[in-house]
Structure 1
Amino acid sequence: MEYLKRKILKDGEIKKGGILKVDSFLNHQLDIECLNEIGKEFQKLFSNMDVTKILTIEASGIAVAAISAQYFKVPVVFAKKTESRNLSEVIYVSKVYSYTKDKTYNIKVSAEYLDKKDKILIIDDFLANGSAALGLLDLAEQAGAEVVGIGIVIEKSFQDGGKKLRERNINLHSLVKVEFNDKDEIIFR
């Protein structure tokens, strides 16, 4: 997706440890025009999948999923990382390790929002080691739902998340795949 590549080159910033900072448009401050382009692209990629719900994880995935959902005309369900008294008594739970925060979370979704009739499209902002995507897959599997695909905005192709998902024959589409050279410059794959 050339639009997104240009946006990353213009506004992205590389931090130590292989962290691509896109806070100015994707996951802190939101560029709605950019998010609309991302949503349209996901709709093109997954238009033939009869998606009934989009599943993501708080917090950064919510904006991408919500904007994308308007093109699919389906609801968004997001897995919560924090404890909440208003979750229903029956919940699905999975463990997710956050590379950027160096922390493991129990992610949760109320059982009333996912079930075996659902055709789930998982959408997230980044794919690195695959922990978030695998955790979301686990939640969908607990519900008996069918995961019809995973849409990722930016995949770090130098980490093994994409490989793990592709080995499971997941219908995975990453809008851009990035690596960094020894001068900390972005290389698109």
Structure 2
Amino acid sequence: MSSNNRSNPYIELTIGMFRTGILGYGGGPSVIPLIRHEAVVRYHWMNDDEFGEVLALANALPGPIATKMAAYLGYREKGVLGAIIAVIAHIFPTCIAMVALLSAVTFLSSSKIVAGMIAGVTPVIAVMLGTMAYEFGEKAVKGLGIYVGIGLFVISFLLLETVQLHPAIVIVLFLAYGTVHFKVVAKLKKQRGDKEGSA
């Protein structure tokens, strides 16, 4: 999207990240679909493929995933100042909520109403994460092929759940594999093209 057709990028970052901060209920993973919506669908800061790559790298780094994503998006749009604005806008609603509700924590923790609210929100978060995972899986299958895609899904599941490798290690392994995979595929296609050309 050209800069002529866009409003002030600082305003976009502030509103977009504030929205993810105020609507992201349940921790980092629940906020990722909201950040994706702002970055990919609403403001077109990047496409789905770029978002998937950034998300994979952010998962491999220490620290809260949502603030890392906010910082990257802000830096990508407007440098260091953009990163600062994006992070502050994202964490501001949480900070205000924590200060405002601190005096009522003991009461709210035992409240059946709050427990019901959490139980009601949980399925929504599950559906949002499931939708995003399906879209990423669909792209992986298109890029790698259905058999390789399913095979890698099974391997990653086993590494995470059976071997219990740290997610960062699994991400780094699959990033390395992806690099090798596409290089090998490109080389095979080139060799096949050369053979067909010489035939």
Q: TM-score range by the shorter chain?
A: under 0.3
Q: Which has the higher strand share?
A: 1
**When the two structures are superposed, what TM-score results if normalisation uses the length of structure 2?**
0.24
**When the two structures are superposed, what TM-score results if normalisation uses the length of structure 1?**
0.25
Q: Which has the higher helix share?
A: 2
